[in-house]
């Protein structure tokens, strides 16, 4: 670590749309599963200085269709990646925001564990929105981490909704 100025930690794609069961792709916390917090703690426990760890955040979502089993859709079987603009199972945040705003999907939140998802009864999308990013940037500040990075800027809204949330969150506003 002494040779690095910083290390980008991929805080997303913990679960992907090719899996047969829906799951959160970028949870801040998760009991018995992959999470941003577990990744950060693993690096620190191996000697990485917190100030050199940069947390990655997705500006896109992972999606599944053919979801069965009821409830809010999370942790349920699915038949395939959800149809999307660029590639099945992968959609920009700006498109997911439109789905959420349309009312066709219900927004679900696990505030305690820092993640959100959309579900319409058949199709589920996991994603980070401004509220989730505020939680994650608070986590970064509270632990003295090195900052945030994201994939990919073109997934944000035209007015930079996600970038603004990250900027304000890292600056404590």
| Count of the separate structural domains present in the chain | 1
Residue with tokens 């949330």: 165
Domain annotation covers residue 122: yes
pLDDT grade, residue 52 (50/70/90)? very high
pLDDT surpasses 90 at 172: no
Q: Which domain holds residue 79?
A: 7-170
pLDDT for residue 154: 96
pTM above 0.85, yes or no: yes
Q: In this predicted structure, what is the pLDDT of residue 86?
A: 87
**100: in domain:** yes
| Position 1 in a domain | no
Name the residue among 95, 101, 32, 102 with its Cα closest to residue 63. Answer: 95
The CATH number given to whatever domain includes residue 17 is 3.10.50.10
Mean pLDDT confidence for 146-164: 97
Assign 163 a pLDDT band (cuts: 50, 70, 90). Answer: very high
| Residue 142, pLDDT score | 97
d(CA 54, CA 73): 31
């Amino acid at each position: 670590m002494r040779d690095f100025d910083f290390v980008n930690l991929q805080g997303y794609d913990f679960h992907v749309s090719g899996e047969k069961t829906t799951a959160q792709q970028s949870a801040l916390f998760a009991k018995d599963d992959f999470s941003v917090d577990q990744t950060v703690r693993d690096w620190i426990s191996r000697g990485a200085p917190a100030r050199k760890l940069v947390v990655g955040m997705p500006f896109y979502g992972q999606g599944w269709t053919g979801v069965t089993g009821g409830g809010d859709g999370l942790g349920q079987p699915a038949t395939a990646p959800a149809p999307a603009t660029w590639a099945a199972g992968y959609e920009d945040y700006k498109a997911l925001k439109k789905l959420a705003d349309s009312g066709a999907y219900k927004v679900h939140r696990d505030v305690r564990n820092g993640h959100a998802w959309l579900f319409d009864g058949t199709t589920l999308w996991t994603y980070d929105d401004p509220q989730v990013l505020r939680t994650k940037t608070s986590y970064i500040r509270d632990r003295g981490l090195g900052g945030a990075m994201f994939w990919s800027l073109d997934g944000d809204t035209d007015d930079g909704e996600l970038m603004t949330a990250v900027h304000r969150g890292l600056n404590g506003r």
